[in-house]
Amino acid sequence: MSDLSYLETISNKELHAKCLEYGLPNIPVTDSSRKVILRRLQSSILGVPSKNAAAATKKTPRRETIHSSKATPAAVIDTSVPRVAGKSPSRNNNNSRRTIGVTPREYYPLDSSPVRTVQTTTTVSDVGSQSEDDDFYQVNSPSVKPQKRDDTRLRRSVSLTKSGVLTTSYTREVEKPHYEEEEQPQSYTYQRPQVAAAPARTLPIYEPRIERSYRPDLSRQSLTQTQLNSTSYLEASNEYNEPLMQQAPRNTFSGSAAPFNLGGTSSSAVRQRQTIGDSGFARGRLLQPTYKVNSLYPQLNDFYDQHNNTVQPMDLDTDSESEAEIQQRRQHQRSPGDSTDSPYLSHFSRQLDTRKRSSPLARPQMRSTIQQEDPNAPMNQFRALITSLDRQYHLKFYFFLMLAVVLATLIYVIVTPAV
């Protein structure tokens, strides 16, 4: 204590030298700042342990200083000591961000336990917490990195609180989607070879394979109709041109997995090609998504046979192609009596059909095929649009209201002359 009394008598220059000697910041000693610097020097000489909590946040030292100010003046020296040792490194930085960044370095050697608790306490963070992660992530990067080495996929956001406790939020990067994405293409590619192996060359071989390949597709793809369309498209593309097969199916499957629009467009495009092309088998494959209704097939088949007698070998194959007939049945329902393209027809019969199409009687057939696809979509869209408008604007209500008004006026007009 004799040193402390000695310091009060020394001059400002000597006091400044003492400050530098004990490692205090090089602050000029003036008459106004003498007392303050003297206190810090005394605290550094006494070696009072620093309060990390006081250095950590600005709010905690305020409370401590309140207690110190209210205490006896002798105790003021003791309270000021931890401030000096604790905050001297951190306060040199003007920016508050830097102080936050510096304090963890002081903490973690002392506070290794909270770091461990962070690993044990797995608090799954919401998506919104990730936005906060970036703010804290830079600050605590040096101390947190060793933790990340343990779990590579886990993002941890460490946030310092007032008490120094670390709160971590584990956000596992999307693992489930990866599995889903991986499973779907694998299943598709695995099924594909079966379909690709099925050529359209020989009909009896071809049809059972269609059924086999199609059923697993239903089991897996029954979730969405768009996927069904995509699969049907691929199968059809196999028949048309085999060299394009290998490229096209991959694209379509990837497209079917990600966007739903591609499947619908692809299916429509393929159907148009089928109407143009000669291969009726492809149409049967395309129509497989509507495969469920098979009961009407023999009727249609007989109906076709009446028009075309050459189809007999094809009739054996028609069991699997009943889906194609469903569309054709629809065609016949719309335009009965008109012979349209059937998957059962051989090339010769199709040539006959094309010849017939050249005749004026065949033209309505083409229109009917076009009308099958086109009117459905626009009408559905139109209906959907009307329904949506009804929901929003209550068009029906206004429509009926207008009708009621018109009827009322009519009645009024009719009645008034009578009166």
Binding site for other proteins (CB under 8 A): 25-28, 30, 32-33, 35-37, 39-40, 58, 61-62, 65-66, 69, 80, 83-84, 87-88, 91-92, 94
User: What contacts 370, CB < 8 A, 6 or more positions away?
Assistant: 275
Amino acid at 70: K
Q: Which is nearer to other proteins, 90 or 368 (CB)?
A: 90
Per the structure block, which two tokens stand in for 352?
């006959």
Distance of closest approach, residue 264 Cβ to other proteins, in angstroms: 57
CB of 86 to other proteins, least distance (A): 9
Angle at 397 between CA 396 and CA 400, to 5 degrees: 80
Q: Which is nearer to other proteins, 64 or 390 (CB)?
A: 64
Shortest Å, Cβ 111 to other proteins: 22
Residue 59 burial class via C-beta count within 10 angstroms: exposed 0-12, middle 13-18, buried 19 and up: exposed
- DSSP conformational letter for 200: S
Nearer to other proteins, 49 or 336 (CB): 49
Q: Rounded to the nearest whole angstrom, what is the least distance from the CB of residue 65 to other proteins in the complex?
A: 4
Distance CA(34)–CA(279), nearest Å, equals 102
Shortest gap between Cβ of 91 and other proteins (angstroms)? 5
**d(C-alpha 267, C-alpha 236), whole Å:** 9
Least distance CB 160 / other proteins (angstroms): 18
Q: Would strands 166-172 and 154-160 be described as parallel, antiparallel, or unpaired?
A: antiparallel
Q: Nearest approach, Cβ of 125 to other proteins (angstroms)?
A: 27
Q: Which is nearer to other proteins, 61 or 343 (CB)?
A: 61
Q: Which is nearer to other proteins, 29 or 118 (CB)?
A: 29
Name the one residue in this structure whose structure tokens are 């098979």: 294
Of 60 and 268, which has the nearer Cβ to other proteins? 60
Matching residue, tokens 């909590």: 53
Is residue 293 a contact partner of residue 286, using CB atoms and an 8 Å limit? no
Dihedral angle sign, alpha carbons of residues 302, 308, 312, 313: negative
Helices of type H across 47-167: 52-56, 59-70, 73-91, 96-110, 112-120, 127-139, 141-150
Give the DSSP letter of residue 294.
-
Contacts of residue 207, defined as CB under 8 A and 6 or more positions apart, other chains included, come to: 317, 319, 320, 321
Closer of 34 and 307 to other proteins (Cβ): 34
Note whether 229 and 264 are within 8 A (CB).
Answer: yes
Of 69 and 219, CB closest to other proteins? 69
Residue 319 DSSP code: T
Question: What is the C-alpha separation between 167 and 175, in angstroms, rounded?
Answer: 23
The pair of structure tokens assigned to 287 is: 């129509």
Q: At its nearest, how many Å lie between other proteins and the CB of residue 66?
A: 5
Q: Cβ of residue 94: shortest distance to other proteins, in angstroms?
A: 6
> Least CB distance from residue 58 to other proteins, whole Å?
7
Q: Which is nearer to other proteins, 63 or 396 (CB)?
A: 63
- Using CA atoms, how far apart are residues 46 and 85, in angstroms rounded to an integer? 11
* Smaller CB separation from other proteins, 88 or 122: 88
